[in-house]
Amino acid sequence: MTQQEQTTQAAPKQSRIGKRPIALPKGVSATIKDGAIEIKGPKGTLSRALPPGIAAKVEAGAILITPVAEGRDGARLQGLAWSLVGGMVVGVHEGYTKTLQLVGTGYRAELKGQTLNLALGFSHPIAFPLPAGIKCEIPGDSKGTLVILTGSDKEKMGQTAAKIRGFRPPEPYGGKGVRYQGEKVREKAGKAAKAGGK
């Protein structure tokens, strides 16, 4: 094995997406210290530890992520870190929004402080305390059937929305339940419909 081949093999591979600089919009700043990154913006502050084998630095108004680990692992971790950090930058600058729709007779949502009360056809209402950093809005014209969640943490937003949806996922017969706005629920024909078709 030649010296050039050894150098090529030892050099960490770069991810095609991960090697792109992440631009910091106006009003957003980033601090990297002790293997963790903190990003501040108009929508809040987010911080997380960088994946192992990854180095990051702020240069010319952008965040540069480079792999330290050798081989394919370096490229994979670089792509992961790029995606996570990019999501943090968007979150503190613009924020994220998720809208849930309650479909069913008597299905309603009501907000009291930081607790979301849900009536989903059970014998008792469900009281769901919203995590810190997640805001909730129920438009008045929706009569409690729309729940709009906003926040800067993409991961926490997704988990919160999935947990609320999990209380009553859409049924395949009739489509009742909690669904994401715009979600297409694949409905099945009931037994009565099958019997009538014979």
Cα–Cα distance measured from residue 118 to residue 127, given in angstroms and rounded to the nearest whole number: 6
Is pLDDT of 40 > 90? Answer: yes
> What pLDDT does residue 26 have?
93
> What pLDDT does residue 165 have?
95
pLDDT per position as a tens digit, 59-98: 989 999 988 877 777 788 888 899 999 999 999 999 999 9
Residue 126 in contact with residue 117, Cβ under 8 Å?
A: yes
> What pLDDT does residue 10 have?
53
pLDDT band at residue 149 using 50, 70 and 90 as cut-offs? very high
Mean pLDDT on 41-68: 91
> What pLDDT does residue 192 have?
56
Is pLDDT of 159 > 60? Answer: yes
Is pLDDT of 198 > 50? Answer: no
Per the prediction, the chain carries an average pLDDT of: 86
- List the single range of 101-115, 144-158, 181-195 with lowest mean pLDDT: 181-195
Is pLDDT of 188 > 80? Answer: no
Q: pTM score, two decimals?
A: 0.79
- List the single range of 15-19, 57-61, 104-108, 140-144 with lowest mean pLDDT: 15-19
> What pLDDT does residue 7 have?
43
111's tokens:
């907000």
Residue 133 Rama label (left phi>0; alpha psi -120 to 50; beta)? left
Nearest to 48 by CA among 85, 91, 92, 94: 85
